[in-house]
Structures are given as structure tokens and as C-alpha cells.
Structure 1
Amino acid sequence: MITAILADDEPIIIKGLKKLIPWEQQGIRIVGEAWTGRGLMELIERERPSLVITDISMPDGTGIDVIKEIERRGLRTKVIFISAYQEFSYAKEALALGAVDYLVKPIEKDLLLDAVQRAVSELMEESEEQHSKSKLAVYEHKDRKTQLEELFDRLLDGDIRQADAEEKLRSLHSGCIHNCYTVLLMEPEQPADDSRWGEHEKRLLLFAVGNMAEELMRRSSAGMILRKGDRLCAVVNHKDETRMEGLADDIIRNAEIYLKIVLTVGIGEQVYGAEGIKGSYRTAAEALGQAFFSGVGKSIIWSGDYKAAPVTERELGDSRQSALQALLAKDRSRLTVELDRLLGLIAGYSAGSREKAVMACYATLIEWSEGLEEVGIMQGEAGTKDQGHLTAMQAVGRYEELLEYVREMADELFRRLSTGGSGKDTQQLLTVKEFIETHYMENITLEGVASKIYMNPYYFSSFFKKHTQMNFKQYLTKVRMKQAVKLLLQTDMMVYEIAEKVGYNNARQFSDMFKKYYGKLPQEYRTQNGPKM
């Protein structure tokens, strides 16, 4: 089955793409989703998909950068671009670089289906052409080691049948006589101030590490060491009872003693038969990715446990709000408790994914900024929406550094609130907005809300408009419409049900208000902004 990755910096776009066409009927399995250019390249490196459908403009790397990197690495991945930018220059460059198609949002189902079917046809034609060539004729002109390296590289990519691979292993006298295989993925720590890490020096150092690792591996096992980018990959063939932790630790120790470098090793899942090597490689990469959370300079054994995220988006959102409330209350001890809890939830939510951890922390800063602006505090000052925060967080090398960045931002916000003051008016406004945000679905009135802060209704009306630049009814409508849009785009609820959920007893009145607010009736808005984007 053809594998595919979907990428867009808006999760709702990815959700819409998944629903827009019957992927399984086209023989396609979606194996990953990405929200940044870097995250997309990491997924492509790990999954080696046949097809990528991506927004051409994303944080931390454009689609053009991605397709150039795919070409540079010699991958056979087909790319379909989507974009909100209807600029010919983008389309021209994308198609010139070999993209299958360039689709402009909102995406039409038939256009996407046509582009996907053309990509599938191209993949099938290339596959048939590749298989029609006689690889045996090519192998005859290569030495045995080169042939083995090429064979193991194909096994890592999963583009050779097990029977053919095992026959070739026998004919090349590879020494792989056991049924068990485990992949070790080795990554040297790269200090920024170390002059050895120019491209030439890096190549020599990886060569030295490879030789050392191969010598250790040959003492009790067979296999091959290959370079994969800035990493080394050891495909180890061993007895069933042999565990790889000892070999990995020996490699790490020797790298430190003789080469004076810090080496981290990801140990993949033990598999049976050459056909499983691709899966062991993928899990070795996942294990190595855990170094971001657990630290470098050691061996990390793959475990499927961290793949399931026990923390939900809702739990994360609630915790962010609790920390924000502690900030607004200028309660240092409460903020410390809430921040510790939030950062613990982010660890669980990330489930071993560096990108998810970064994006969860970045979303936290954005939500805090928006929350402060909502009550008129520090509008335009905190700057947490600035792309610089995302760039800075993506550059950190350790999870602890990421958490420290969030703590520092929380401290900065706390200092600004403490020195700038929020005053009695702000506290009252915060109380009012909290009440509206949690009771908008009820029949709340200006008089009822004014009583929550013990204020005369007439004075409250003036007070509210002064601090929000809109009257109470306008603000209540804004909150209700905002919630209505969420329900329209994220649920299958009927319009009359949504009307009741956001505080309208009359569906017609709700529809009229929605059209006045957004220029479209609810169902029209859903059709134009829902799964078809």
C-alpha cells in the first residue's frame, strides 16, 4: 500500500484533508501528520512515504525547501502542494521542482482526487520501470561490500522482498545466519563550538565511529554499518537470546574513550526475518528521538509505551487556563504549582515527540498572551505570538531547556504584571469575562452580570464599554459566535442544536445573528470552511 504524510500548520486543514477523499480506496495509508517544515522532514526521513501533501508555506521551512531536500536525498517521494497563496511564482517553482500538482485553497474534492490519482500512477510507473531493470547485472560490477551496503540500504527502506533479500544475503556470504535482526541508530553529539564538526571532519569522524562499531559488532554478530545523514545505522544479525544493550553501551564507551565524543544510540525493536528491518529502523529512530527528553550519551531502548498520549487537548487547555488565572491573580505560589502541573501534562501529551512538545509550549505562550489581551493587560507588549519564540524553542537541544524557556516567559509575564499592576478595575473585568465565558449558553443579562461585582447596572454598562470598547450585548454575542464557529467546524451537530448550545432558544434568531456577524448563514459557513476548507 502507498504511504502518505499530510502537512499544514493548521490542524483543521489536515483534518479536512483526511475526510475529503477515500484514501483507503485509493490504496493509500496516511502514516503521519506534520505542522512545521522541520517536523515534516523528520517524518519523511523516518517513514519514507511515497506521497506528501503539504502546505507550501509553513513555519520552519517552506514546501519548496522540503521538495528540494527530498530531491537532494534522492528520495522517490511525490509531492502535492496546497496553498492559500494564488501566486504564479509559487506554482511555477513548485512544478519546476517536480511537484505533481499545486492546489489553491479552498481545495475542491475532484481536483485533489485527480492529483492524488496522478501521483499514484507516476509511482506505479516508476516502480515497474525500476523492477524491470536487472539489478543482478549492476551487482556484477560492484565489489561485495558495496553490494551488501546497497542491499541493507534497500532493506532499511523496505523496497525489496524478503525472499530476494535472503537469497542475496546468502549469495554474498554476508554471515547473516540468524533469523533475528535489530537496528542500532547512532548519533554523535555536535557541540556548536567544536571545530571538528565541519563537513569534512564530520565525515572522517563518522567513518572512525563506524569502523569502531563494526569491529565491536563482529565479535558476536554479523551485519552492516551504514551512514544515514549525520547518523550511523547498524543492522545487526544476532541470536534470539542476544540483547543489544551490551553492544550499544560498548560502542558508547569506546567512542568516549578513544574518539572523545559523546554518542547516543537508539535501539530498535528486535524483528524476525530481513523483511522486518525497516520496522526496526523506524523504532530505532523513535528511540533516538527520546534523547531530547532523557538526555544524550547513553543507549535508549525502543518502547511503544510513549506512543500513546494519555493527556488530552482539553486537559492541556484547562491547565493553561489555570496557570493564566494564577498569573492574573499575581499569586506566585499558585503559579508555581499550576506551572509544574502544566509542564508535566505537556510531557505526557507529547508522548515522545519533540515537535509536539515544542508546539504545545508555543501554544501555551500564545494562549497566555491572548488571555492577557482579552482583559486589557499588556496588549502588544508581551510578544508571545512573535515567530521568534517558536524559532527559539525549536533550537533547544533538551526538553529541560524547553521547559526552562516556558518558566522564564512565565516569570517575565509575572514581573510585568507585578510592576505594571492590574488594579481593581482589571480584576473586576476579569471576573465578569470569566463569568460570561462559562455561562454564555444561559440567559444571562447585563443586570445579572453587574450584580456579580456588586455594581449598579447603569454604571456597569459604562464601565464595561470603557474597558472593552464594546457594549455588554456586543461582547456576549462575540463570545457566542466564537463558540458557534467551533461547534460548526468541529462537530456534526445540527444548526438548531448549536443555537441552543450557545444560548439561543430560537434557531432563526441565531441564524440571522450569525449571518449579520459573519456574512453567511451557519450552514453556508460550515460548507465553505469545513472539511472542504
Structure 2
Amino acid sequence: MDIIKTIIVDDEARIRRGIERLVRSCGEEWEIVGMFADGKEAYEAMMQENQSFDLLITDVRMPEMDGLTLVKELKKTHSFSSLIVSGFDDFQYLQTALREGAMNYILKPIDREKFREQIEEVKERIIKQRSEQKEVQEKELQLTYTKQVQLLSEVTWNHDTDVSLLNWTREFPKGTYRLIYVSTDQKLSKTKSEEWEAWRAAIEKLITELFGREWQDDHRRYWWWRGTKLSFWLLLLDEEQVVSSTETKQTLQQLKQSIQRLTPFTVSVAFGNEFEDVSFLPSIRNQLLSLLQFRMIQGGNQIFQLDSMQDVTDEAPRGISAAIYKSTHQILHALEQKPDEETEKALQLFFHEIQSLSLPAALQEAVHYLCIRIINRWMEHQGFKEDPHVFTEALQLTQHAGDFAQLKDGVKHWMLRMKNKMLIHHDSNPMQQAKEFIQDHLGENITIKRIADHVYMNPTYFCESFKKQTGETVLDYVIRNRLEKAKKLLKMTDLKVYDISAEVGYQDTKYFSRLFKDWIGQSPSQYREHYVNRE
């Protein structure tokens, strides 16, 4: 039933109560949300309470504020229909107002049947307007969703997005987000394209049905889009932080099982920690892509959480000999307390032990075990969250090595880089280093990864630390400094706008001009003209 909220305004209490009884007699859908003796009283109450309503029934003549003025003032902030109650001596005055505002009216003394007819007409119009408004809103929401999905897709496809090109992330709702990556475990090289499309459509339907049911209400929203081949991304929004990591995992478990039941595939799922700034997406994407590579070690058909790398214990896994386990511990000890020569000596002992392994899989497992232990030690040492890139590099060591000599060289260089990360002086200021790096590279493509790599920090942790220590996001800092430089160039040079745009890192001049106007309040040309006129 469509409830129609109604306000009654009349300076005569008897008429006010009579209108109330008439309205209530028209059906249960009519709800009286306010009764007032004067237009001013009604106006102030509606503005203070910010209350919405559907119909205003008001007398014309009242002492403080007349009915027509009340309608006019409330129309500035509220959307509603109005029914004017008028005496015969007001009629000519009322006719003029009706031509301007097209309001319904009824003459005093009020005829019950005519009143009910008017009320029914108003009701039909309100319901029709609601339906039309709802349709428009749904179209707007769908258009917004489609645009947002396109932008999200570009972020996951493009691994070198300049940080200031993520300005659109401000348009996303406030709340707690979580990014999820779903990927099939099987390869599709011999699969017919029509079968591939059918399976992809089936998985997409499962995602839409499950999350449409489990994750679509007043406080939760989701976006999904395609990755490469049979992989998919999900972005979940929990505005009130009521959904736990365990509940999210349970929903993903349902999805994984449904895909396995309805398609020939198993899937692995990676999901990260919660975050509030959508501009963190590029670094979190990298984390999940790297996290999913754990299936190379632990097998597929699993759900991997971002803290999985910290679950490796001090116990040697099956397949790792006591000698390899011992040499790994010697390397870990040397990394923090010994010079490079001692570290390399311990590493040579490790190479000696694994060189005798007869199976490539055993060799790969030993190298991965060493790398994971080093990464875990680095995390403990620094107190930082996991860096996905070092793990990716570690996995690639065995994949890209052409022979044992290349493998040794790759492991050695990777390990020494990790040692440098551990030995960064604690009294250094990585945020100041990051600022200086940004200032020195304003005209280049600046990504979160580039800045974070420069200060040896995990991208997501770097973004959080930067905002905590400086009071602004990396995105804001980059944009602000680029535009400050642009303002100086507009003031002090006669360079063309497109030259200045490129000078401060924007190859798209239209985007630069739009961004400049959003931040400065004027277009670059207007800003230059204003500055010249002041001179």
C-alpha cells in the first residue's frame, strides 16, 4: 500500500479537525504527519525537522503566512502536491495563483463528495509521479553503476595508472570496502569459444544472483566486472561495517561451490583487508594477484585471505629436508646480523643442499620456502603489512631461470634486495622522501607503486601512513602540487595551456582543464586572464 503523508494548515481549529476527519475517511493510505494553525508555523516545522511529505492541504488566508506563500517557499526545498482551501471572496485572487502554479483547490464550505473526488485525483497523480520518479532514479542508478564498473575495470586492467587520474574515486559512497578476485584454476587453451562463453555467462549469473541476494540492501552494495579469461573482480561496500571477514568468506565459499557444481571448473578466490579509500585499488589489486599465486604452492580450489603469507610456521613443510631447513634458518639469521659476505656464505650452503634434489618440483618448493620465510621475517622486522611484489618476484625466480646458475643468481640478488629493505634506518622519514620524489617527478606518470617502491613500503600501507602523517591523501597531494606548479606557469610564462598540462603530467588537456576548474574554481585560461588583469 502506498502511504501518502499529508499536512493540514488552517487557522480555524474546527475546519482543521474537519479536514483531518475527511482525509482519514478516504482510506488507510492517508497518513496525517502534521497539523498547523498558520503557514509560518508549518514552514518552520518542516524546515527544522526536514520532514518529507506528499500533500499539503492549506487555507489561503492566514495571519502570519498565507497558504500560497507557504506553497511557494516549501517548493524551494520539498517536492509535494498541494490542495488549496479557499473562500468565495478569495476566488479571483486564487485563480491568478492557479495559473502560475497549477494547484488543486476546493471552495469553502467544503463539500464532502467533491473533497473526496479531489483527494482521489491527487492520490492518482502522486502515485503516478512516484512511479515515474522511481523509473528515472533506477535508470540514473544503472547509468552510474555502468560508469563506475567501467572505471573499476580500467584500474584492474591498467597497471600504470597515474595517481591523479583516480580523481573519480571520490564519487564513490563513503564506507568500508573489500576487493575480491575470483579465478578458475583450469586452463582453457583447448576449449571451444562457444563453450567458454556459456561457462562465463553461467559464472556471471551466479555472481549476480548470490550477491544480489546477500549483498544488496540499504547499507551494502557491490560491483563486479570481468578480469582476464575466466576471472572476475568484486568490490563490496559495507557502509555500517556490520559484516565480518568470516561472513564474507562464507559467502565466497557458497560462490565457489556453486561454480564447481554448475561448471567443469574449480576456482580460487583471493580477498583482501578492508579499506575506505577507493583510490587504494591499484595496490590492493596487486596484492590479490600475488596472493592468488599461493595456489602454485598450496593448490587451487581454495580461498586465500591477505594474511595467508603470515600463516607459514617455523616448522619445515613436508618435502623440505632437515639440511635445507637448517640452512634456511642460517640465512635468516645472517640477513639481520651479518655482513653481506656472511649472508652469501649461508646462501651457498643452501644452494649446495638443493643442487642434489632430483625433481624440479622439490627444487621449486625449497626456493619458495626460503623466500616465504624471508618475506615473513621482513614483515616482522618492519611491522609493515605484506608487500605483494616481492612475493611475485620470488615465485618468478624458478619460473624464469634457464638453468641452476641463473636460479642461484636470481635468488641471490632478490635476497640482497630484501636485506636492504630490512636495514633501512629507522630514523629516516619515508613520507618526506615520498614528497620529494613526487616533487621531482610531477611531469611524469606517478603511480602509487612507484612512490611506495621508492621508500621501500607496501603501497596500501604507504597510502594509509601518508594520510595519517600528512593529513591528506597521496591523490590530493599529487593533484595539489601539480596544480600549484600549473598556476605558477600560467602566471610567469606564456606557455600554451596544453604545454602546461603536459609539463605537470597530464597528457589529456581537457582532463587537466576540468580538474583545474574543479580545484581552483576557474579554467586555466580564466585564471591566467584574471591574474594578468590584476597586474
TM-score w.r.t. the length of structure 1 is: 0.33
User: Whose Rg is larger?
Assistant: 2
